[in-house]
Amino acid sequence: MDVKGVLDLIKAKGITAVDVRFMDFPGLWQHFTVPAKEFGEKEFTEGLGFDGSSIRGWAAINESDMLVVPDPNTAFVDPFSKSPTLVIIGNIQDPITRQDYGKDPRNIAKKAEKYLLSTGLADTAYFGMESEFFIFDEVRCHQDVRSGYYSVDSGEGQWNSGREENPNLGYKIRYKEGYFPVPPSDTQQDIREEMCEVMAACGIDIERHHHEVATAGQAEIDSRYRQLVRAADEQLIFKYVCKNVAKRNGKTVTFMPKPLFGDNGSGMHTHFSLWKGGKPLFGGDRYAGLSQMALYAIGGILKHAPALCGICNPTTNSYKRLVPGYEAPVNLAYSAKNRSASVRIPMYSPDPRTKRLEYRCPDPSANPYLALSAIMLAAVDGIQNKIDPGSPLDKDIYDLPPEELAKVPSTPGSLEDALDALEEDHEFLLKGEVFTEDVIETWVNYKREREVDAMRLRPHPYEFVLYYDV
């Protein structure tokens, strides 16, 4: 959609407000709203001013003035506002130089697409995400100097099998047995379908949805592949829709990777391929029907995987999911079909157009602009440097003898370890100035100070179980 199309849409739909959105550095959508009568052609060229110093991870207070420049291609009618509202995503610029702001995640993703084109290797990076999340009935949490707790609940939860429900009908999903049950055990069918219908109205093509493995309302919705920036845009719309559809049904959605102890966590399995001139580049006659380029791309992703975790698994909670011995793909290996490897090659079709890599480590707490850009840059580095991924691991990793398993590298065990890896290995992210040293430094410092240290300094409730009587 162009500028004229947006303005025509405002008139045709009787839009009274325009909601301008952008993403903060850690990965949450921000917005402000202007009356539609004040929104015209000049806003697309001159932008709209706001205070950037109040956005997490951005400018200091002495350099706070910024512009957000709406991108007409992103406009859609908000399905939740009472007043007719148009949502439009913008890019951040410096008001004096009119340069794109380096810490705007969307600008980083735009630079990644430009860099790919400049390499001559490919002109398009496609991404498709399988996003998992939980739909809970209630969440309570609290933390202060002397106490801390959390509690989540779901009528589906196995822990409620003996609850007084007047009547309790007994259809509770057993732990780790939530994959594909039909209603009435799957109580979330209608709400997931509503989410998909709303997403479709917002321009997202949905391929499927289903209940996921965990008890208590774990869900998965898969969206159609898109080019990098658009895929990241749609991930934000995806989260917005899930949370608001849940709210109007009296429920709550979380994209925390591991909200439950003892059951599966939520991942964001990321499908990735490169194309050039409308032709797929990852199909070929090598292992699993891949091209040599695709194998080199795997080599780059596996080599840089510990550093990628600092961006693709960016919370302390992420490493409650990435634990060896469970279903999460902590093993830095590749395989066809084998879902215990961190890079899987889907084998559903021999068509070269379907050949892609599925990077299974990321989780939905990631900032999608940064995560998708980093994955692509790691793959491109592998292609440019012809990084050999080694032999595939087609055995069941969990049945390997200890001496053989010890040879398989694994993901970092904590956010702190992942940030250390990112500090040591980020040259591949600096190519084309997609990321900068300032961006990496700001990201690492923010995560250490606001999250790693914040967790390290606080007693954990379970520590009282373990140690109160010492």
Cite the active site residues. 51, 130, 132, 212, 220, 269, 339, 358, 360
Determine the Cα–Cα distance for residues 104 and 91; give it in Å rounded to an integer. 7
Determine the Cα–Cα distance for residues 73 and 185; give it in Å rounded to an integer. 41
Residues 393, 395, 400, CA angle at the centre, nearest 5°?
105
* Residues 272 and 378: beta-carbon distance below 8 Å: no
* Residues 128 and 111: beta-carbon distance below 8 Å: no
* Residues 359 and 307: beta-carbon distance below 8 Å: no
* Residues 176 and 264: beta-carbon distance below 8 Å: yes
The b-or-e profile of 295-312 (16+ CB within 10 A means b, else e) is bbbbbbbbbbbbbbbbbb
| Among the listed residues 216, 237, 236, the one whose alpha carbon sits nearest the alpha carbon of residue 138 | 216
Determine the Cα–Cα distance for residues 270 and 343; give it in Å rounded to an integer. 10
Query: What tokens does 2 get?
Result: 């162009």
Query: What tokens does 41 get?
Result: 């052609």
Measured CA to CA in angstroms, residue 137 lies from 148, 313, 410 at distances of 21, 26, 35
Q: Rg for the chain (alpha carbons), in Å?
A: 23
